[in-house]
């Protein structure tokens, strides 16, 4: 009876995490699509906000379930961190899209397109790592994804340094410097958050060793 009671709850954590990373991948795809366009309009922003809203609800559901469950598939604080960081990924992508609209940034910007491709790779690796937690046997595959996320974070750091140096050297309008500095820094920040997720995943794997 106890098994019947607890096991479904344990397994549901994996289901909800799968849904959560699915939303992050969806947000990333939309982000890629939007940065390639000429401008962010109301409809585009609304689509992103709708994904963000679903991710928020998933996070709340996870934390609610966590508060009601005694036995969890891995440490409570790790479940909490995973939920929070995955939510942060979607939030930060939404923030970028929102600011593009608020600042009326026109046009595809080649630097941001490049960032969106690296972000997409990283979020896909994050998704594979998180999904891997369900079947702990393929540790190697999980670790490989986490290493990839770390590598992409370094790539993002270099990109940010390069594009900021370029921005400060070539852009004479300070208002544009303010706008793009913020966009680029937020883009790089998404990769930092992906790295945080990878660190939590690695932690979980180590503890189960």
Contact positions vs a copy of itself (CB under 8 A):
63-64, 67-68, 98, 102-104, 161, 164-165, 168-169, 174-175, 177-179, 181, 203, 206-207, 209
Half-sphere exposure of 13 (CA within 13 A, CB side): 28
- Rounded to the nearest 10 degrees, what angle do helices 76-102 and 42-68 cross at? 170
C-beta of 179: minimal distance to a copy of itself in Å?
7
C-beta of 202: minimal distance to a copy of itself in Å?
9
Decide whether 19 or 182 has the Cβ nearer to a copy of itself. Answer: 182
C-beta of 182: minimal distance to a copy of itself in Å?
9
Q: What is the 3-class SS of 137-154, one letter each residue?
A: CCHHHHHHHHHHHHHHHH
C-beta of 162: minimal distance to a copy of itself in Å?
9
Rounded Cα distance, 159 and 122, in Å:
14
Decide whether 36 or 157 has the Cβ nearer to a copy of itself. Answer: 157
- Taken as a whole, the chain contains a residue count of 209
């Amino acid at each position: 009876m106890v098994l019947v009671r607890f096991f479904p709850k344990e397994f549901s954590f994996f289901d909800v995490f799968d849904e959560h990373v699915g939303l992050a991948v969806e947000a990333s795809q939309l982000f890629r699509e939007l940065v390639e366009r000429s401008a962010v309009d109301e409809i585009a922003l609304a689509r992103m906000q709708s994904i963000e809203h679903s991710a928020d609800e998933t996070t709340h559901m996870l934390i609610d379930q966590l508060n009601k469950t005694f036995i969890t598939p891995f440490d409570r604080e790790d479940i909490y961190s995973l939920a929070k960081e995955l939510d942060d990924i979607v939030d930060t992508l939404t923030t970028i899209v929102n600011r593009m609209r608020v600042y009326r940034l026109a046009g595809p910007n080649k630097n941001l397109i490049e960032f969106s491709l690296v972000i997409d790779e990283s979020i896909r690796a994050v998704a594979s790592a998180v999904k891997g937690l369900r079947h702990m046997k393929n540790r190697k595959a999980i670790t490989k994804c986490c290493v990839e996320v770390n590598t992409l974070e370094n790539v993002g750091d270099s990109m940010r340094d390069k594009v900021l140096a370029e921005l400060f050297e070539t852009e004479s309008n300070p208002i544009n410097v303010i706008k793009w500095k913020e966009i680029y820094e937020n883009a790089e920040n998404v990769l930092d958050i992906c790295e945080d997720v990878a660190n939590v995943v690695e932690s979980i794997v180590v503890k189960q060793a």
